[in-house]
């Protein structure tokens, strides 16, 4: 489901989601989508993480990923961010990549 302006919650992205099922929903006419259109790993580097796991450089990529909308009031986002942090902790995730897009 695409974000609407200033949504404070997150979107859950299963690890097996194919690139053609992802939507970049930035609405600014000043935002250049070219990199995402050419290679989704520019904003969501799941292929790179899976390659690192295959090479045993990292243990694995998480089974579930999360996306937040930018330009949102941090106070409204906080409860949702805390919920995601709890999920990551219970899934025993050791590290995260924050992709500022």
Q: Is the pLDDT of residue 40 over 80?
A: yes
How does residue 55 score in pLDDT terms, banded at 50, 70 and 90? very high
Residue 2 Cα distances to 22, 43, 67, 99, angstroms: 9, 16, 11, 17
pLDDT digits (tens, 9 = 90+) for 58-81: 999 999 999 887 778 889 989 999
More confident residue, 60 or 26: 60
Which of the four pLDDT bands, split at 50, 70 and 90, describes residue 4?
low
Is the four-CA dihedral 33, 35, 36, 37 of positive or negative sign? Answer: positive
pLDDT at 29 over 80: no
| Confidence class for position 47, pLDDT limits 50, 70, 90 | very high
């Amino acid at each position: 489901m695409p974000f609407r302006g200033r949504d404070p919650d997150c979107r859950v992205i299963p690890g097996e989601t194919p690139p053609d099922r992802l939507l970049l929903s930035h609405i600014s006419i000043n935002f250049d989508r070219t990199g995402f259109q050419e290679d989704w790993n520019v904003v969501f580097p799941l292929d790179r993480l899976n390659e690192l796991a295959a090479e045993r450089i990292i243990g694995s990529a998480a089974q579930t990923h999360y996306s937040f909308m930018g330009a949102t009031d941090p106070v409204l986002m906080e409860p949702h961010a805390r919920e995601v942090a709890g999920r990551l902790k219970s899934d025993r995730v050791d590290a995260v990549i924050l992709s500022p897009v």
